[in-house]
A and B are shown apart, each in its own frame.
Chain A
């Protein structure tokens, strides 16, 4: 864990302690379980977003994709009678295809990530609403999928399985990002795409792969969200979820210019965001202020981080200047 991660972890613990001191219900198993379930759901899609942000890109269509893929998943198993494992795989493939399309437009046709994924945001939301004729997609009374429900919304020894899924995905993605050749390429492209290309890296393919990973993880999150809410009104389901993911990454030390950030960071960012949500509920702050609290905390966090960095740079310069006093014309 980097210094930044440890700082974030401390912040999470301090905020947790304060909330627990004011309202002891924070530490009740039911509250912890609910919060960790949400951490699992948002964590999965934030990891996907992280892969895109590392390359210097951005994926804005996450929320709409979650609505569209969620609607499709429920429709496949509830209305069309598809076997759920088949539907499950199909949705992941669809998510991957969406990512591939975005990656292709960005890496091959050189469109800006912001523009491509903003269009995705609008398109998928529209398609999702059209698909259900703006109705709510849900299960019929008495429809049950015990295995699927256990895997997505169930618990093991009190721990939500969605949270366990996040831990597994986190472990895999940690290896991919921090230990694999592919991960190295991602950082290289994020730092300086030109230099990466001049080192013989096929940067286009790597960027497309990052968007595919984001698409697949978003699809997985879409299934978890669908099974968590069990009914989806496509006009509002998943609204702003891309911003949760981006905020988690930024809090976790990612740079939107690319090339910086870690899996641990983005997970800690997700945890802090969900803790803040929980704080709003438990401390009796009007829930309408929810977004304002999150925005304020992110802004302060980024500001402190940036000022701290500037302070350290200044201190280093001052020290360096003292170490070699006035070497005018003698530097070699």
Chain B
């Protein structure tokens, strides 16, 4: 283990443990990370912030050796590499604690920490040395300040405790850099405190930490230095003295909101869809009510896991609802399946395009016609001519870039695949269209086209419900924004109150700062 440096902030005094220089990584259609350089000193806590898609996960993948950078160098302990392998990353002492926990909850803590690396007893049978294992895990648990023992089953632990097990696991390989990817996003406040204490403990042991979080106040409290990523480039570095909430936000957003489309001029029409006291299986005790008007784009914001997708799936009839009713144009629906929703003009552009949105192996034309086969058939036989006619029309109006409508949909780019998903619903004259993360994994150009399309739809009187985790998108595109927090709608923001800060406050269950009126919602 290295010596603990005297100064906590990196100032070039100590040789950095890790440094990246000029790293670039591009995927087809998007540069995920460009000309990125950073240095991590021993015992330094680096806060890494940025919006979704800013390049944080690409950076993590490069450090983990999962992804090979296009160019640039990675220097570990003074040795320069073009890339790290997964093994090389592990041997260098880089450990990850991911947002999703990777524990086996049918095993106890000790078994999880040393899974596959158990200390063995002497002898030909190679039995696991339980006593030694427990002792080793016990000392690791003490280091992370855990208040549970090594033989506790993981299924009995709280989320924060499980996170501690993950950190113990990370430490068990003699880590020198622990990367925490949004470790607090699912933790309640008191548990978060414990985790921040653990980070301070790691630092005291001379272990470097990269702490990724959307919760800027936590970053303020523990980071020695903050790196801000935006659109794949390093937008700014804040030394300890300059770490400030508003400054981080400014750097994260950086520019004028590109996503803003022509804001609707017309006043929204009558209520197109009304959901009353919907209870989903994920949040059975939290009924949700929501109204969407004709001609408006209603944004639905919230943290991952706040119940947005679950609500959308229920409104589309894919998931059964435990209670509540759905009305369109004031009429109660017998909504028992997606087929019922489609028959009533409620369409969903699902979150997972490749699994739920399209059939990758089908040609474009057959994907577009699939929900509307009765219209493309005579006496139960498919009319290929009618299918192709509709597909051609949609291809030219949406600008789907493909050699022909007979092209296999799976060979298209993400943006064009998404347009195929949209095309199949647009061909059927939607009344209500729900879009779950409609621009995820799509390049900037196609994004703008999809935003415009949503506006055109709204102007034609369609009610649009857009679920999005992209703050810029939520604020730029929506006429109103409903924010969900732990299964409930924590508030609805009108245009005047629409700000990143207010959305964030509602998303974590706090009161927004409203301009004129009393707070509405619950």
A79 within 8 A of B: no
B26 within 8 A of A: yes
CB-based contact A331/B29 at 8 Å = yes
- Cα-based distance from A281 to B203 in the complex (angstroms): 80
CB-based contact B381/A180 at 8 Å = yes
- Cα-based distance from A328 to B31 in the complex (angstroms): 11
CB-based contact B338/A200 at 8 Å = yes
A269 within 8 A of B: no
CB-based contact B28/A179 at 8 Å = no
**A209 nearest CB across to chain B (Å):** 12
CB-based contact B382/A184 at 8 Å = yes
CB-based contact A191/B356 at 8 Å = no
- Cα-based distance from A184 to B359 in the complex (angstroms): 12
B337 contact set on A, CB distance < 8 A: 202
* Known A192-B360, A194-B355, A196-B359; contact A181-B343, beta-carbon cutoff 8 A: no
- Cα-based distance from A181 to B192 in the complex (angstroms): 55
B381 contact set on A, CB distance < 8 A: 175, 179-181
CB-based contact A191/B361 at 8 Å = yes
* Known A179-B382, A191-B361, A331-B29; contact A184-B338, beta-carbon cutoff 8 A: no
B70 within 8 A of A: yes
- Cα-based distance from A264 to B476 in the complex (angstroms): 54
Which of A175, A188, A200 contacts B359 (CB under 8 A)? A188
B342 within 8 A of A: yes
B402 within 8 A of A: no
A143 contact set on B, CB distance < 8 A: none
Which of A187, A200, A328 contacts B341 (CB under 8 A)? A200
B348 within 8 A of A: yes
User: Of B318, B361, B374, which is in contact with the most chain A CB atoms at under 10 Å from its CB?
Assistant: B361
B424 contact set on A, CB distance < 8 A: 199
CB-based contact A181/B382 at 8 Å = yes
CB-based contact B356/A194 at 8 Å = yes
Q: How large is the interface on A (under 10, 10 to 19, 20 to 34, 35 or more residues)?
A: 20 to 34
**B365 nearest CB across to chain A (Å):** 11
Please encode chain A, from 179 to 221, with 1 for each CB lying within 8 Å of some chain B CB and 0 for all others: 1111111011001101111111110000000000000000000
Which of B318, B361, B366 contacts A197 (CB under 8 A)? B318
- Cα-based distance from A305 to B424 in the complex (angstroms): 34
A142 within 8 A of B: no
B377 contact set on A, CB distance < 8 A: 180-181
* Known A184-B382, A200-B341; contact A191-B28, beta-carbon cutoff 8 A: no
Residues 311-326 of B contacting A (Cβ, < 8 Å): 316, 318
Among residues of B, the one whose C-beta sits closest to the C-beta of A189 is B359
B338 contact set on A, CB distance < 8 A: 197-200
Residues 19-74 of B contacting A (Cβ, < 8 Å): 24, 26, 28-29, 31, 70-71
- Cα-based distance from A311 to B345 in the complex (angstroms): 46
A329 within 8 A of B: yes
**A258 nearest CB across to chain B (Å):** 11
B342 contact set on A, CB distance < 8 A: 199-200
A259 within 8 A of B: yes
* Known A180-B380, A329-B71; contact A200-B355, beta-carbon cutoff 8 A: no
A183 contact set on B, CB distance < 8 A: 382
B405 within 8 A of A: no
- Cα-based distance from A194 to B380 in the complex (angstroms): 23
A192 contact set on B, CB distance < 8 A: 355, 359-361
Which of B70, B348, B350, B366 contacts A329 (CB under 8 A)? B70
B359 contact set on A, CB distance < 8 A: 188, 191-192, 195-196
A307 within 8 A of B: no
**B313 nearest CB across to chain A (Å):** 10
B24 contact set on A, CB distance < 8 A: 329
B448 within 8 A of A: no
CB-based contact B28/A331 at 8 Å = yes
B374 contact set on A, CB distance < 8 A: 181
* Known A192-B360, A196-B370, A197-B318; contact A180-B339, beta-carbon cutoff 8 A: no
Residues 340-387 of B contacting A (Cβ, < 8 Å): 341-343, 348, 350, 355-362, 366, 370-371, 373-374, 377, 380-382
Per CB-CB distance, the 7 closest pairs between chain A and chain B, nearest first, are A200-B342, A199-B371, A199-B370, A198-B356, A181-B373, A200-B371, A200-B339
Given contacts A181-B381, A188-B362, 8 further A-B contacts (CB under 8 A): A184-B382, A185-B373, A192-B355, A192-B361, A194-B355, A198-B338, A202-B337, A331-B26
Give chain B's interface residues, CB within 8 Å of chain A: 24, 26, 28-29, 31, 70-71, 316, 318, 337-339, 341-343, 348, 350, 355-362, 366, 370-371, 373-374, 377, 380-382, 424
Q: 8 A-B contacts, Cβ less than 8 Å apart?
A: A181-B374, A181-B380, A187-B362, A188-B370, A191-B362, A192-B359, A200-B371, A259-B361
